[in-house]
Amino acid sequence: MRVWFLSAGLALMCMAQNAAAGTVLIVGDSISAGFGLDTRLGWVSLLEQRLKREGFDDKVVNASISGDTSAGGQARLPALLAEHKPELVILELGGNDGLRGMLPTQLQQNLASMIDSSRASGAKVLLLGMQLPPNYGVRYTKAFAEVYTSVADEKKIPLVPFFLEGVGGHPDMMQSDGLHPAAGAQGKLLENVWPTLKPLL
């Protein structure tokens, strides 16, 4: 009988540990997909390592696709939520919308829809903001950047104002195409996210 109680107790402990472990779903584009890099060097892999070092059991699912837009992410999200049932969704999208000159109002609608869908599934949301190079014009770049602060304020969710802070515009931190962060910049990307991300875990 004593052995049975011991076994049952161990089983309950394992169940409790599994219940405590959540899933972090990252829905992004090439920056989170690790375009041009060994993905083991990307900021998402560094995040997984950081979680383990700091004692978090959360599983990270990287559903980022190079070239994806906010519309693409919106279309993919319902199936991802149903499959992975995340406790936290990190949205890193919009850069390709801006590079293609898409309307900021459409980007805002798509992000708002993804936030609503994530919340309806029971997940928290973290939004990673993006900015465009100045050659896209002051008016457009300003309207684009304001989308992130506007939707974060409206939906009352945490925001990293500029995911590429300290990386974008620094040639030594970028790959030769000038668009994608180099391997040496991945740690900086994680540091930009971590202070806002950690309290959500």
**C-alpha distances in angstroms, 71 versus 8, 76, 95, 145?**
48, 9, 12, 17
Catalytic (active site) residue 180: yes
User: What span, in angstroms and rounded, lies between the C-alpha atoms of 123 and 25?
Assistant: 10
Catalytic site includes residue 64? no
Q: Which of 29, 30, 68, 97 is catalytic?
A: 30
Residues in Cβ contact with 134 at an 8 Å cutoff, skipping those fewer than 6 apart? 141
First-to-last C-alpha distance (Å) of the chain: 39
Both tokens of 19, joined, read 């219940």
User: Rounded distance, CA 150 to CA 47, Å?
Assistant: 27
Residue 115's CB is within 10 A of a number of other CB atoms, namely 21
Q: Single out the catalytic residue among 38, 172, 176, 177.
A: 177
Closest listed residue to residue 129, CA positions, set 152, 106, 110: 152
For residue 13, the surrounding DSSP H or E stretch is helix 2-20
| Cα of 179 vs its chain's centroid, Å | 18
Query: Residues 132, 107: contact at Cβ < 8 Å?
Result: no
Q: Which residues are catalytic?
A: 30, 177, 180
